[in-house]
Amino acid sequence: MRSYKQYCSVARALDVVGDRWNLLIVRELLLREPLRYTDLQFGLPGIATNLLADRLRELEAAGVVEREAAPPPVATTVFRLTDWGKALRPVVTELGAWGAMLMAGSAEGCEFRSHWLTFPLGNFFRDKEPGSPPVTIELRTGDEPMLMEVTEGAVEAHAGRAEHADLVLAGPPRTVLGVLVGAIPIEEAGAEGLTYEGDPEVLGRLEHLPVSPS
């Protein structure tokens, strides 16, 4: 990207990460460091391969990303964020919070990856009953199952499958998310493709933090 040539920290930040795709590359690395080139491609559907290569070079030159030759037996290059790159987490988090209300719109024609959920699930949910025993919710939507662990006031999300989940939600991403935030009552969600097993009452444990406008 051409520099804005403004002596302003916002403009200078955008000189580095304001280019198309750059903040999404950072999102991927924040979620699942370290990543191989092909993992990045999978998490960034729509990016042209030459662009990904260009961007990684630029971000490396700027000191946001590091390239590392992974030792055998893997024997491949992996990409990580530098410390400065990791400091972009609040930027990506705030952008995600601001864009949260856009998730209510249609997901028609959009790609989806399960691991994108770790950001919103971990940041914008709380456990309403910190004293109660932990609860596990398994989400089956997208390319891999995800787990939400509701424990001691907080919510943690990561990829994985549970031995015994208290609730399993399966269906299209928009419906699963709608049920979690309480926008779609679980009894009515069947019409939008949701199926579930387990105890729907555990959804009462989730508190969804307000989204903008704040």
Partner DNA sequence: CAGCATCCGCTTTGATACTG
Partner DNA sequence: CAGTATCAAAGCGGATGCTG
Q: Please state the closest distance from residue 210 (CB atom) to a second copy, in A.
A: 11
Q: Which of residues 81-110 bind a second copy (CB under 8 A)?
A: 82-84, 86-88, 90-92, 94-103, 105, 107, 109-110
Cβ proximity to a second copy: between 54 and 94 the closer is 94
**Counting contacts by CB under 8 A, is residue 191 touching a second copy?**
no
HSE-CB at 98 with a 13 A cutoff on CA atoms is: 6
How far apart are alpha carbons 157 and 164 in whole angstroms? 16
**Counting contacts by CB under 8 A, is residue 50 touching a second copy?**
no
Cβ proximity to DNA: between 43 and 171 the closer is 43
What would the two tokens of residue 48 be?
């042209």
**By three-state DSSP, how is residue 110 classified?**
coil
Q: Count Cβ atoms within 10 A of the Cβ of residue 148 and give its class: 0-12 exposed, 13-18 middle, 19 or more buried.
A: buried
- Per-residue mark of binding to a second copy, 4-23 (x: CB under 8 A): xxxxxxxxxxxxx-x-x--x
- Per-residue mark of binding to a second copy, 56-85 (x: CB under 8 A): --------------------------xxx-
Asked if 127 contacts 155 with a C-beta cutoff of 8 angstroms, the reply is yes
Closest CA to 193 of 160, 162, 170: 170
- Per-residue mark of binding to a second copy, 156-175 (x: CB under 8 A): -----------------xx-
What would the two tokens of residue 8 be?
């302003």
How far apart are alpha carbons 147 and 208 in whole angstroms? 17
Residue 195 contact partner, candidates DNA, a second copy, none, CB within 5 to 8 A by sort of partner: none
Q: Which helix (H) or strand (E) holds 149?
A: strand 146-151
Q: Please state the closest distance from residue 47 (CB atom) to DNA, in A.
A: 6
Closest CA to 81 of 67, 65, 95, 98: 65
Contact positions vs a second copy (CB under 8 A): 1, 4-16, 18, 20, 23-24, 27, 45-46, 82-84, 86-88, 90-92, 94-103, 105, 107, 109-113, 116, 119-120, 173-174, 212-214
